[in-house]
Amino acid sequence: MRTGFFLLLILLSTSVKAQSCRSLQSLDWMVGNWTAIEGLSLVSETWQRVSADSIEGEFTEMDASSGELEASESLRLLQMSGEIFYLAKVSQNDYPVPFRATSCSSSGAVFENPEHDAPKRIEYTLVSESEIRVQVSNGDDEGLIFNFSRVN
């Protein structure tokens, strides 16, 4: 089963032709604790570097009034074979969903998986040293947008 997952990563890396990120260091600006209020929910993402080739993260969404957990995802950024992959492990999928980095800079990154049902695109934008915007979509202008603030 694990072989199938890595085969999917290889196929995905050859199916998207856009220029990709080459170094995980270009995404160090994502490392930290980030929170946002979205409607009645408190949303957070936490990213920490665990090795030269890996940054691990966690996404949580909690009811702001009760503190009850509404959703969570385990996240990981991996540098592998000269490319960067964003892996999202959600409870409804048996395996992590891979997204290939199709562009990145010191202030933004786009991860895409055109074969996935939804979402197909995850875009991070560094608005300022203390703010990031994350847009999760199917590649159009619609979708979810989270405006996170850095927590010290």
Please classify residue 132 by burial: count the beta carbons closer than 10 Å to its beta carbon, then call 0-12 exposed, 13-18 middle and 19+ buried: buried
Mean model confidence pLDDT for the chain? 87
What span, in angstroms and rounded, lies between the C-alpha atoms of 51 and 60? 23
What does the pLDDT average to over 39-48?
Answer: 96
What span, in angstroms and rounded, lies between the C-alpha atoms of 94 and 111? 21
In 3D space, the residue among 138, 148, 131 whose CA is nearest the CA of residue 59 turns out to be: 148
Domains delineated in the chain: 2-151 (2.40.128.20)
Structure tokens at 47: 């990213």
Tell me the whole-structure pTM to 2 decimals: 0.84
Is residue 145 within 8 Å of residue 133, measured between CB atoms?
yes
Is residue 17 within 8 Å of residue 87, measured between CB atoms?
no
20 dihedral zone (left: phi>0; alpha: psi -120 to 50; beta): beta
What does the pLDDT average to over 62-81?
Answer: 95
pLDDT in tens, 106-140: 899 999 999 999 999 999 999 999 999 999 999 87
In 3D space, the residue among 15, 1, 105, 24 whose CA is nearest the CA of residue 123 turns out to be: 105
